[in-house]
Structure 1
Amino acid sequence: MIYKEIYRLKRVDNNDFPAIKELFWKVFKKKVSLQYLQNKYNTSYLGINYICSIAYCDKIPVAFYGAIPQKFKNNEREIYIAHSSDTSTLPNHQRKGLQNALAKFAYEIMKENDIKCICGFHSENSYRSTKKLGWKEHERMQRFHVKVPTFPLAKVLNKFRWNNFYDLFFKKKFSQDAIDKLTSEHKEKYRMKFTNDFVAYKNSFKSHYCIEIDDCVFWVKIQAIIHVGLFYAPSAEALQKAIKKLQRKAFFLGITEFLFQVDATSTMAKQLQTIVQPKESWLVGFLDFDPEIDLKDFIFTYSDLDTF
């Protein structure tokens, strides 16, 4: 039970990020920069900012409920949804209903901003906690691991945070042709609205690259391995040829693996299944604020994840 005289719940603003940084360290022993947090939650490019909530006990930050607005579109309309991200509570303030109270507080902020639902890629912990909030289950994503037999130089570079090394080999900017290709499929379903503004937002707190090979396009981040957030290939055969060329480049860069995580119903999944067998990945969960929203009308990608 939450006692209002003990905890103060509020909508996050820019002044709260030092407190959020403190919670990251105290709860997860994770060092993150203030700039990283400010950039990650600065979604002003969408016209909506800070849909998160934070709790203080006196002046001490004790819990945080993170969520990020995202714009999805199909061939008829655009809508906002929220992506559930970082949540944390100090150990001595757990089991008091604080996270549930913060979540419900944030949901009201979302509704006020015409956000249609909140979604998340479940971990075991988030699955249990969201059940108490009435979340529903969608489908599981599929993951595909494409191996590269090479010396793991990329893991060494990642350990010492020398990831800017890849700026020499890959470009960060997208041509309009590349964006058109990445957004050419599943137009009847809701997908993340992929634009240069979105890419600039993502690059403000993580390094991402656009790789164009023949008629294929890949949007990736490189952290020990290549994580493919989104790709387009005109056919399975074209994808197979592009992957072989990517593997040769990865071999010389010491990158041992490509990881794809895709919606099981997507064209990407069907094409990848001709190369390697899929494994189960995250279960997608959601809570709808609009009864007309049906996640069967959505296509999710790895790049939707807040940490991509």
Structure 2
Amino acid sequence: MQYKEIYRLKRVDNNDFPAIKELFWKVFKKRVSLQYLQNKYNTSHVGVNYICSIAYCGDIPVAFYGAIPQKFKNNKGELFVAHACDSYTLPNHQRKGLHNALAKFAYKIMKEYDMKYVYAFHSENTYRSTKKLGWKEHKNLQRFHIKVNTLPLGKVLNKLRWTNLYDVFFKQKVSQEAIEKLTSEHKEKYRLKFDNNFIDYKNSFKSHYCVEIDDCVFWLKIQAIIHVGMFYAPSAEALQKAMKKLKRKAFFLGITEFLFQVDADATMATQLKTITKPKESWLVGYLDFDPEIDLNDFIFTYSDLDTF
């Protein structure tokens, strides 16, 4: 194949992050810090690091396939899966088989660590690119938008990067009691292992907050609007009451919307439907490495997303 003649493919290590940063800038014309990339792909908290692949043409980085190992658990045990999250190639190196080659290179690494499947929350681009790799379709998440009628000051703060202001109003520490509530449902199904190690990992490159209102718990991030990664409510009525109080906070902070993205089979979806109607969100696509795996045995949440 053509890519074998002029490209060098390798597993990413810590020395490749300046190249990944350079590649990100050339493809998207957006700046991202070296620290952000290193922290995002430093998944030592699950015991596996760097299941990504990168292609060089000479000394020039030309394509990258990014994936993150994740640990899912149920009441019987734990297993590894991979979340495919980034893929970009310089324009003049596209249509040469690099994406497929890098993906297959990464899949070999994943199999070495007994990862059961690789999955993604599909965009149009990823949906097209994975078809050639034999990916399958699971189902769509549901998204719920809850509006707040207030001045959009949150968008201004986000644009000016003054988001540290939220640290004054929301706590970042997640208590053990909050963790137990957030992981108390669907124990028979596999869910992303949510513990202090995972929380520390996420907070190494994004700011997250834990809000406890009465018996309800919300784990969220704020970027112009409030994105809720997961929540726990003992009942739909309790959720409705907690949301009224949470909306008051959002009103005074100039946050115009709450966004939830949840598995259609999750208790969260059932409870949110008592507040507003859902819209169709990302399709979960996957490639299984273990024929015994059934994604109906898994519950996905917004906080599984690499950028959450």
User: TM-score under structure 1 normalisation?
Assistant: 0.99
Question: Are the aligned partners of 1:27 and 1:91 in contact in 2 as well (CA < 8 Å)?
Answer: yes
Q: After superposition, where does 1:172-191 map in structure 2 within 5 Å?
A: 172-191=172-191
Q: Residue in 2 aligned with 1:132?
A: 132
CA distance in 2, matches of 1:245, 1:227: 16
Q: Residue in 1 aligned with 2:162?
A: 162
CA distance in 2, matches of 1:260, 1:3: 41
Q: After superposition, where does 1:209-220 map in structure 2 within 5 Å?
A: 209-220=209-220
Can you list the C-alpha shifts for 1:43-62, whole angstroms capped at 9, x where unaligned?
01111000000000000000
Can you list the C-alpha shifts for 1:59-82, whole angstroms capped at 9, x where unaligned?
000000000000000110100100
The alpha-carbon deviation at position 5 of structure 1 amounts to 3.0
CA distance in 1, matches of 2:173, 2:287: 34
How well do the aligned residues superpose, as a CA RMSD in angstroms? 0.6
Q: Residue in 1 aligned with 2:106?
A: 106
Q: Please list every run of 5 or more consecutive structure 2 residues that lacks an aligned counterpart in the other structure.
A: none
Q: Which amino acid aligns with 2:186?
A: H
Q: After superposition, where does 1:136-285 map in structure 2 within 5 Å?
A: 136-285=136-285
CA distance in 1, matches of 2:19, 2:234: 47
Q: Which amino acid aligns with 2:258?
A: F
Q: After superposition, where does 1:36-51 map in structure 2 within 5 Å?
A: 36-51=36-51
CA distance in 2, matches of 1:9, 1:165: 43
The alpha-carbon deviation at position 104 of structure 1 amounts to 0.1
CA distance in 1, matches of 2:98, 2:171: 44
The alpha-carbon deviation at position 162 of structure 1 amounts to 0.8
Q: Residue in 2 aligned with 1:58?
A: 58
The alpha-carbon deviation at position 2 of structure 1 amounts to 3.2
CA distance in 2, matches of 1:259, 1:5: 47
The alpha-carbon deviation at position 117 of structure 1 amounts to 0.5
Question: Are the aligned partners of 2:3 and 2:97 in contact in 1 as well (CA < 8 Å)?
Answer: no
The alpha-carbon deviation at position 114 of structure 1 amounts to 1.1
Question: Are the aligned partners of 2:12 and 2:50 in contact in 1 as well (CA < 8 Å)?
Answer: yes
Question: Are the aligned partners of 2:3 and 2:98 in contact in 1 as well (CA < 8 Å)?
Answer: no
Can you list the C-alpha shifts for 1:120-173, whole angstroms capped at 9, x where unaligned?
000000000001000000010000000000001110000011111100011111
Runs (4 or more) in structure 1 with deviation over 3 Å come to none
Can you list the C-alpha shifts for 1:243-298, whole angstroms capped at 9, x where unaligned?
00000110001000000000001000000000000000000000000111110000
Say which SS state the counterpart of residue 70 (structure 1) adopts: strand
Can you list the C-alpha shifts for 1:15-64, whole angstroms capped at 9, x where unaligned?
00000001111011111000000000000111100000000000000000
CA distance in 2, matches of 1:128, 1:229: 27
Question: Are the aligned partners of 1:2 and 1:98 in contact in 2 as well (CA < 8 Å)?
Answer: no
CA distance in 2, matches of 1:138, 1:268: 19
Q: Residue in 2 aligned with 1:79?
A: 79
CA distance in 1, matches of 2:196, 2:157: 28
Q: Please list every run of 5 or more consecutive structure 1 residues that lacks an aligned counterpart in the other structure.
A: none
CA distance in 2, matches of 1:21, 1:262: 31
Q: Residue in 1 aligned with 2:15?
A: 15
Q: Residue in 2 aligned with 1:288?
A: 288
Q: Which amino acid aligns with 1:259?
A: L
Provide closer, same or farther for how the CA distance between residues 215 and 9 of structure 1 changes in structure 2, counting only shifts above 3 A: same
Calculate percent identity across the aligned residue pairs: 81
CA distance in 2, matches of 1:292, 1:222: 38
CA distance in 2, matches of 1:138, 1:298: 11
Q: Residue in 1 aligned with 2:298?
A: 298
